[in-house]
Amino acid sequence: MTPSASPIPMGARRLILVRHGAVSRVPRAGWPDIAPVRDGAFYGGNIDVPLSQRGEAEAHAAATWIAEKHADEVACVWSSPMSRALFGARAIATAVQSSATQRCTVSSVSTHEAFREFDRGMWTNMTKEEVEADPRWGTDSFARCAREPMYGRNECKGEGMGDLKDRVLTERDELLSTLLPGSAAVLVSHLWVTRSLLGEALGEEDPLAVDVPTASVSVVDYPARFKGQAGVLGMPADCRPIVIYAAHKPELEAAVDASLDVGQAEI
Protein backbone atom coordinates (compact mmCIF):
# COMPACT_ATOMS: atom_id res chain seq x y z
CA MET A 1 0.00 0.00 0.00
CA THR A 2 1.35 3.43 -0.93
CA PRO A 3 1.44 5.67 2.16
CA SER A 4 -0.11 9.10 2.11
CA ALA A 5 1.61 12.15 3.54
CA SER A 6 -0.34 14.16 6.10
CA PRO A 7 0.33 17.77 7.10
CA ILE A 8 2.68 18.38 10.00
CA PRO A 9 0.60 18.94 13.15
CA MET A 10 0.71 22.39 14.70
CA GLY A 11 3.87 22.86 16.72
CA ALA A 12 5.38 19.54 15.69
CA ARG A 13 8.68 18.86 13.95
CA ARG A 14 8.97 16.15 11.30
CA LEU A 15 11.90 13.83 10.68
CA ILE A 16 12.07 11.96 7.37
CA LEU A 17 14.36 8.96 7.79
CA VAL A 18 16.07 7.42 4.77
CA ARG A 19 18.40 4.44 4.68
CA HIS A 20 21.06 4.52 1.97
CA GLY A 21 20.70 2.32 -1.13
CA ALA A 22 22.20 -1.08 -1.89
CA VAL A 23 25.99 -1.21 -1.81
CA SER A 24 28.88 -2.58 -3.81
CA ARG A 25 31.44 -4.68 -1.98
CA VAL A 26 34.17 -3.81 -4.48
CA PRO A 27 35.64 -0.42 -5.44
CA ARG A 28 33.80 1.68 -8.03
CA ALA A 29 35.03 4.58 -10.13
CA GLY A 30 34.08 7.92 -8.64
CA TRP A 31 33.83 6.56 -5.09
CA PRO A 32 36.37 6.37 -2.24
CA ASP A 33 38.87 3.58 -2.79
CA ILE A 34 38.37 0.54 -0.54
CA ALA A 35 39.73 -2.96 -0.21
CA PRO A 36 37.04 -5.41 -1.39
CA VAL A 37 34.57 -6.56 1.26
CA ARG A 38 33.83 -10.28 1.23
CA ASP A 39 30.35 -11.47 0.23
CA GLY A 40 28.06 -11.53 3.23
CA ALA A 41 30.61 -9.85 5.51
CA PHE A 42 29.96 -7.02 7.94
CA TYR A 43 31.33 -3.58 7.10
CA GLY A 44 29.27 -1.22 9.27
CA GLY A 45 30.80 2.15 9.98
CA ASN A 46 34.29 0.73 9.52
CA ILE A 47 34.46 0.58 5.70
CA ASP A 48 33.19 3.35 3.43
CA VAL A 49 31.67 1.05 0.82
CA PRO A 50 30.19 2.65 -2.32
CA LEU A 51 26.67 2.30 -3.57
CA SER A 52 26.09 -0.14 -6.39
CA GLN A 53 24.33 0.93 -9.59
CA ARG A 54 21.13 -0.39 -8.01
CA GLY A 55 21.84 1.57 -4.87
CA GLU A 56 22.28 4.78 -6.84
CA ALA A 57 18.97 4.15 -8.62
CA GLU A 58 17.27 3.42 -5.28
CA ALA A 59 18.66 6.65 -3.82
CA HIS A 60 17.27 8.66 -6.73
CA ALA A 61 13.88 6.94 -6.37
CA ALA A 62 13.78 7.90 -2.68
CA ALA A 63 14.75 11.47 -3.58
CA THR A 64 11.94 11.67 -6.14
CA TRP A 65 9.43 10.33 -3.62
CA ILE A 66 10.42 12.86 -0.96
CA ALA A 67 10.38 15.73 -3.46
CA GLU A 68 6.89 14.74 -4.63
CA LYS A 69 5.40 14.20 -1.17
CA HIS A 70 7.33 16.47 1.18
CA ALA A 71 9.26 19.15 -0.76
CA ASP A 72 7.48 22.14 0.77
CA GLU A 73 8.00 20.80 4.32
CA VAL A 74 11.74 20.17 4.12
CA ALA A 75 13.92 22.84 5.70
CA CYS A 76 17.21 20.95 5.86
CA VAL A 77 18.96 17.69 4.97
CA TRP A 78 21.21 15.90 7.47
CA SER A 79 23.47 12.98 6.67
CA SER A 80 25.96 10.48 7.95
CA PRO A 81 29.45 11.43 6.74
CA MET A 82 29.80 8.08 4.93
CA SER A 83 29.71 8.37 1.15
CA ARG A 84 26.89 5.86 0.63
CA ALA A 85 24.59 8.07 2.72
CA LEU A 86 25.89 11.36 1.34
CA PHE A 87 25.02 10.30 -2.21
CA GLY A 88 21.36 9.96 -1.29
CA ALA A 89 21.34 13.10 0.85
CA ARG A 90 22.69 15.20 -2.01
CA ALA A 91 20.17 13.69 -4.42
CA ILE A 92 17.37 14.57 -2.01
CA ALA A 93 18.59 18.14 -1.53
CA THR A 94 18.73 18.65 -5.29
CA ALA A 95 15.28 17.12 -5.83
CA VAL A 96 13.70 19.21 -3.07
CA GLN A 97 15.28 22.41 -4.38
CA SER A 98 13.82 21.68 -7.84
CA SER A 99 10.35 20.69 -6.63
CA ALA A 100 9.49 23.09 -3.82
CA THR A 101 6.68 25.48 -4.71
CA GLN A 102 7.38 27.73 -1.75
CA ARG A 103 10.63 29.39 -0.72
CA CYS A 104 13.13 26.56 -0.27
CA THR A 105 15.64 26.85 2.58
CA VAL A 106 17.60 23.72 1.66
CA SER A 107 20.95 24.98 0.40
CA SER A 108 23.29 22.12 1.23
CA VAL A 109 23.68 18.88 3.19
CA SER A 110 25.09 18.96 6.71
CA THR A 111 27.01 15.90 7.88
CA HIS A 112 27.05 14.56 11.42
CA GLU A 113 29.50 12.00 12.76
CA ALA A 114 26.90 10.80 15.26
CA PHE A 115 24.90 9.29 12.39
CA ARG A 116 27.76 7.07 11.17
CA GLU A 117 26.90 3.36 10.97
CA PHE A 118 27.53 0.90 13.82
CA ASP A 119 31.20 0.17 14.58
CA ARG A 120 31.62 -3.58 14.03
CA GLY A 121 35.03 -3.83 15.68
CA MET A 122 36.57 -7.30 15.32
CA TRP A 123 33.64 -8.46 13.17
CA THR A 124 34.59 -6.16 10.29
CA ASN A 125 34.85 -8.18 7.06
CA MET A 126 33.68 -11.36 8.81
CA THR A 127 30.42 -13.08 7.88
CA LYS A 128 27.65 -13.82 10.36
CA GLU A 129 28.34 -17.54 9.88
CA GLU A 130 32.02 -17.07 10.69
CA VAL A 131 31.24 -15.00 13.76
CA GLU A 132 28.76 -17.52 15.13
CA ALA A 133 31.13 -20.44 14.47
CA ASP A 134 33.91 -18.72 16.42
CA PRO A 135 34.07 -19.92 20.05
CA ARG A 136 34.84 -16.37 21.19
CA TRP A 137 31.27 -15.41 20.34
CA GLY A 138 29.02 -18.39 19.56
CA THR A 139 25.74 -19.12 17.83
CA ASP A 140 23.64 -16.40 19.46
CA SER A 141 26.23 -13.63 19.15
CA PHE A 142 24.58 -11.69 16.32
CA ALA A 143 21.29 -11.39 18.21
CA ARG A 144 23.10 -10.58 21.45
CA CYS A 145 25.07 -7.81 19.76
CA ALA A 146 21.81 -6.30 18.49
CA ARG A 147 19.88 -6.63 21.73
CA GLU A 148 22.42 -6.22 24.54
CA PRO A 149 23.59 -2.62 25.08
CA MET A 150 27.25 -3.38 25.79
CA TYR A 151 27.90 -6.65 23.94
CA GLY A 152 29.50 -5.03 20.89
CA ARG A 153 31.89 -2.98 23.01
CA ASN A 154 32.84 -5.70 25.48
CA GLU A 155 32.97 -8.74 23.19
CA CYS A 156 33.69 -7.38 19.69
CA LYS A 157 35.89 -4.40 20.66
CA GLY A 158 33.68 -2.17 18.59
CA GLU A 159 30.57 -0.29 19.66
CA GLY A 160 27.75 -1.39 21.92
CA MET A 161 24.19 -0.95 20.70
CA GLY A 162 23.69 1.26 23.74
CA ASP A 163 26.58 3.44 22.55
CA LEU A 164 25.02 3.79 19.12
CA LYS A 165 21.56 4.62 20.44
CA ASP A 166 22.97 7.20 22.83
CA ARG A 167 24.97 9.09 20.19
CA VAL A 168 22.18 8.93 17.60
CA LEU A 169 19.32 9.98 19.86
CA THR A 170 21.38 12.69 21.57
CA GLU A 171 22.29 14.22 18.20
CA ARG A 172 18.67 13.90 17.04
CA ASP A 173 17.47 15.80 20.11
CA GLU A 174 20.02 18.56 19.59
CA LEU A 175 19.22 18.97 15.91
CA LEU A 176 15.46 18.86 16.42
CA SER A 177 15.81 21.81 18.78
CA THR A 178 17.19 23.86 15.87
CA LEU A 179 14.30 22.96 13.54
CA LEU A 180 11.39 25.37 13.32
CA PRO A 181 8.01 23.93 14.37
CA GLY A 182 5.92 23.01 11.35
CA SER A 183 8.94 22.05 9.25
CA ALA A 184 10.79 18.84 8.41
CA ALA A 185 14.35 17.60 8.18
CA VAL A 186 15.55 14.66 6.12
CA LEU A 187 18.12 12.35 7.71
CA VAL A 188 19.95 9.93 5.41
CA SER A 189 21.89 7.29 7.29
CA HIS A 190 22.15 3.55 7.80
CA LEU A 191 20.34 0.41 8.93
CA TRP A 192 21.21 0.51 12.63
CA VAL A 193 20.96 4.28 12.94
CA THR A 194 17.48 4.22 11.40
CA ARG A 195 16.48 1.24 13.52
CA SER A 196 17.38 3.14 16.67
CA LEU A 197 15.28 6.17 15.68
CA LEU A 198 12.34 4.29 14.24
CA GLY A 199 12.34 1.69 17.01
CA GLU A 200 12.12 4.42 19.65
CA ALA A 201 9.18 6.03 17.84
CA LEU A 202 7.40 2.68 17.41
CA GLY A 203 8.01 1.67 21.01
CA GLU A 204 9.87 -1.40 19.75
CA GLU A 205 12.75 -2.36 22.02
CA ASP A 206 14.06 -5.17 19.79
CA PRO A 207 15.97 -3.60 16.87
CA LEU A 208 15.80 -6.85 14.91
CA ALA A 209 12.03 -6.43 14.77
CA VAL A 210 12.32 -3.07 12.96
CA ASP A 211 12.35 -3.56 9.19
CA VAL A 212 14.37 -0.97 7.25
CA PRO A 213 14.92 -1.90 3.57
CA THR A 214 17.59 -0.11 1.55
CA ALA A 215 16.52 3.36 0.39
CA SER A 216 13.29 3.12 2.36
CA VAL A 217 11.58 6.23 3.72
CA SER A 218 9.99 6.59 7.16
CA VAL A 219 8.31 9.67 8.59
CA VAL A 220 8.12 10.52 12.29
CA ASP A 221 6.46 13.58 13.83
CA TYR A 222 7.72 14.91 17.17
CA PRO A 223 5.05 16.88 19.06
CA ALA A 224 5.82 20.26 20.57
CA ARG A 225 5.97 18.73 24.07
CA PHE A 226 8.44 16.00 23.08
CA LYS A 227 11.36 16.26 25.51
CA GLY A 228 13.90 13.90 23.99
CA GLN A 229 14.94 10.31 24.40
CA ALA A 230 15.11 10.32 28.18
CA GLY A 231 11.40 10.91 28.55
CA VAL A 232 9.81 8.85 25.76
CA LEU A 233 8.67 5.87 27.82
CA GLY A 234 7.28 7.97 30.63
CA MET A 235 5.60 10.61 28.49
CA PRO A 236 1.85 10.92 28.01
CA ALA A 237 0.73 9.59 24.63
CA ASP A 238 0.28 13.07 23.15
CA CYS A 239 3.94 13.88 23.84
CA ARG A 240 5.46 10.83 22.15
CA PRO A 241 6.77 10.55 18.57
CA ILE A 242 4.14 9.62 16.00
CA VAL A 243 5.07 7.37 13.08
CA ILE A 244 3.24 8.63 9.99
CA TYR A 245 4.56 5.78 7.84
CA ALA A 246 7.48 3.40 8.09
CA ALA A 247 9.88 1.57 5.76
CA HIS A 248 8.25 2.60 2.48
CA LYS A 249 10.57 1.69 -0.38
CA PRO A 250 9.81 3.69 -3.54
CA GLU A 251 9.71 1.41 -6.58
CA LEU A 252 12.17 1.62 -9.42
CA GLU A 253 10.87 1.85 -12.95
CA ALA A 254 10.38 -1.69 -14.26
CA ALA A 255 12.96 -1.36 -17.04
CA VAL A 256 15.55 0.03 -14.62
CA ASP A 257 14.80 -2.64 -12.03
CA ALA A 258 15.18 -5.44 -14.60
CA SER A 259 18.52 -4.09 -15.82
CA LEU A 260 20.28 -4.07 -12.43
CA ASP A 261 21.86 -6.80 -10.35
CA VAL A 262 20.18 -7.79 -7.12
CA GLY A 263 21.22 -5.35 -4.43
CA GLN A 264 23.46 -6.08 -1.44
CA ALA A 265 23.38 -4.62 2.04
CA GLU A 266 24.52 -5.43 5.53
CA ILE A 267 22.09 -7.17 7.88
Distances (CA, A) of 168 to 13, 47, 193: 17, 19, 7
Judged by phi (left if over 0) then psi (alpha if -120 to 50, else beta), residue 190 lies in beta
Where is average pLDDT lowest: 104-113, 192-201, 235-244?
235-244
| 31: confidence class by pLDDT, cuts 50, 70, 90 | very high
Average pLDDT over residues 101-126: 93
Count the helix, strand and coil residues of the chain and give each as a percent rounded to the nearest 5.
Answer: 40, 15, 45
Assess whether pLDDT exceeds 70 at residue 233. no
pLDDT of residue 234: 64
Q: How many CA atoms does the CB half-sphere of 77 hold within 13 Å?
A: 28
pLDDT of residue 72: 93
CB atoms within 10 A of CB 239: 15
Average pLDDT over residues 113-118: 98
| 132: confidence class by pLDDT, cuts 50, 70, 90 | very high
pTM: 0.96
| 47: confidence class by pLDDT, cuts 50, 70, 90 | very high
Assess whether pLDDT exceeds 60 at residue 230. no
Q: pLDDT tens digit string along 60-78?
A: 999 999 999 999 999 999 9
Assess whether pLDDT exceeds 70 at residue 36. yes
Q: How far apart are CA 204 and CA 247, in angstroms?
A: 14
Assess whether pLDDT exceeds 90 at residue 250. yes
The pair phi, psi for residue 226, each rounded to 5°, is: -65, 130
- Helices and strands in the chain: count of H runs, count of E runs: 8, 6
pLDDT of residue 55: 97
pLDDT of residue 106: 86
Among 101, 95, 27, smallest CA distance to 60 is for 95
Where is average pLDDT lowest: 57-66, 101-110, 117-126?
101-110
CB atoms within 10 A of CB 122: 16
| 238: confidence class by pLDDT, cuts 50, 70, 90 | confident
Assess whether pLDDT exceeds 90 at residue 173. yes
pLDDT of residue 231: 52
Assess whether pLDDT exceeds 80 at residue 235. no
